[in-house]
């Protein structure tokens, strides 16, 4: 037997096929739960991956390797020899091409969920993925056309963090049955700790973009100090770090509360994973500051930030859960 999209409803025949769409979508193979979860996981990884390539563009000073948008240069959509440093063109153009990979993964996930007749919550979350990716591409174009002014670069990163968060929530929800009722498994005080920790994470991410805006990696060697954030970087770094300390303290308190209550579901495991990731992030952050912000550590720092954001989204989804989706008797 292979998994299909829904668990059978109580009292219904085990061989009943889940309702699905009519028309062209009905001609597609019925995707298994495993396939849906695989696509949802690929979506999470792709959202984090585009952050990694994006920050690589920045630290290699390739942000204007393609000098305009949507073209790479005035006469071509692809890099042209002599239009700029070949490596910078390749890095920036490669990052742009990954947008199409993200769209393909998001579209495949959306089609799979529609074909499987999944609940509307999942469809709306899946719709947010391609819509957000297209919006990000436009923001990226504005960032290039504006000459990589620091605040446009910050606006370019933050939506990716939101998409990583939503992608993680979608991954969790895809693995749940559509037919079982949603149950709140955490008491209100612990649920509010999760909410407050998410608010602090938002502050950590915003101040992180400000640190970058005042730091040495402008995205292009031609960008001068006038286009950088005119604030003392030491003050920004300390404020950023203090918010992170507050964030991890809330998570430690949450972990103790979850352990004391022996909370149902995966919340304890996700909270502990999150604390471990933040500890690793703290080591990377302190090291890169002491070493003068070397490029590879900046890339690792942003990648870990994306992973932390995604796991925070998964933790958020732990407060309200459904029964796991199970296999039905009809082969997909």
Burial class (CB in 10 A: 0-12, 13-18, 19+), 139: middle
Tell me how far apart the terminal alpha carbons of the chain are, to the nearest angstrom: 8
Alpha-carbon gap, residue 114 to 243, rounded angstroms: 40
In whole angstroms, what separates CA 226 from the centre of its chain? Answer: 31
Q: Which of 53-57, 86-90, 160-164, 225-229 has the highest mean pLDDT?
A: 160-164
Cα–Cα distances in angstroms (integers) from residue 72 to residues 2, 218, 260, 308, in the given order: 46, 19, 56, 32
Compute how many other C-beta atoms are within 10 angstroms of the C-beta atom of residue 184: 10
pLDDT given for residue 45 in this prediction:
97
The residue extents of the domains of the chain are: 25-321
Closest CA to 303 of 112, 58, 136: 58
pLDDT band at 14 (very low <50, low <70, confident <90, very high): very low
Q: How far, in Å, CA of 15 to CA of 69, rounded? A: 53
Residue 147 tokens read as 């000459």
Using pLDDT thresholds of 50, 70 and 90, give the confidence band for residue 215.
confident
pTM for the whole structure: 0.86
> pLDDT tens, 99-125?
899 999 999 999 999 999 999 999 999
**Is residue 225 very low, low, confident or very high in pLDDT (cuts 50, 70, 90)?**
low
Query: CB of 257 within 8 A of CB of 189?
Result: yes
Nearest to 174 by CA among 103, 258, 114, 263: 114
Indicate the average pLDDT of the chain.
85
Phi, psi for residue 162 in degrees, rounded to 5: -65, -45
DSSP state of 76: B
40: tokens are 């949802």
If we measure between CA atoms, which residue out of 100, 125, 99 comes closest to residue 114? 125
Structure token digits, residue 177 = 């049955």
CA 307 to chain centre: 7
């Amino acid at each position: 037997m292979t998994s299909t999209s829904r668990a059978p409803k109580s009292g219904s025949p085990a061989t009943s096929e889940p309702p699905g769409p009519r028309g062209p979508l009905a001609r597609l193979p019925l995707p298994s739960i495993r396939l849906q979860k695989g696509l949802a996981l690929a979506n999470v990884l792709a959202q984090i991956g585009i952050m990694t390539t994006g920050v690589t563009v920045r630290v290699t000073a390739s942000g204007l390797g393609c000098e305009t948008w949507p073209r790479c240069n005035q006469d071509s959509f692809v890099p042209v020899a002599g239009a700029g440093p070949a490596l910078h063109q390749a890095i920036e153009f490669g990052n742009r091409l990954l947008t199409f990979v993200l769209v393909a993964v998001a579209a495949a996930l959306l089609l799979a969920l529609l074909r499987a007749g999944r609940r509307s919550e999942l469809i709306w979350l899946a719709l947010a993925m391609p819509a957000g990716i297209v919006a990000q591409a436009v923001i990226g174009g504005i960032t290039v056309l504006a000459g990589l002014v620091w605040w446009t670069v910050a606006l370019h990163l933050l939506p990716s963090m939101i998409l990583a968060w939503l992608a993680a929530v979608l991954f969790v929800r895809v693995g749940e049955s559509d037919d079982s009722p949603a149950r709140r498994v955490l008491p209100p005080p612990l649920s509010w700790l999760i909410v407050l920790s998410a608010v602090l994470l938002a502050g950590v991410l915003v101040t992180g973009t400000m640190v970058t805006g005042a730091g040495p990696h402008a995205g292009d060697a031609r960008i001068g100090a006038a286009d950088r954030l005119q604030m003392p970087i030491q003050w920004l770094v300390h404020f950023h770090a203090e918010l992170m300390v507050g964030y991890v303290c809330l998570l430690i308190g949450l972990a103790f509360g979850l352990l004391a209550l022996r909370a149902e579901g995966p919340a304890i495991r996700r909270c502990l994973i999150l604390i471990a990731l933040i500890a690793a992030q703290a080591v990377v952050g302190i090291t890169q500051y002491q070493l003068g912000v070397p490029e590879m550590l900046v890339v690792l720092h942003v990648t870990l930030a994306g992973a932390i954001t995604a796991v925070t989204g998964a933790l958020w989804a732990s407060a309200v859960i459904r029964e796991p989706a199970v296999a039905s008797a009809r082969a997909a």
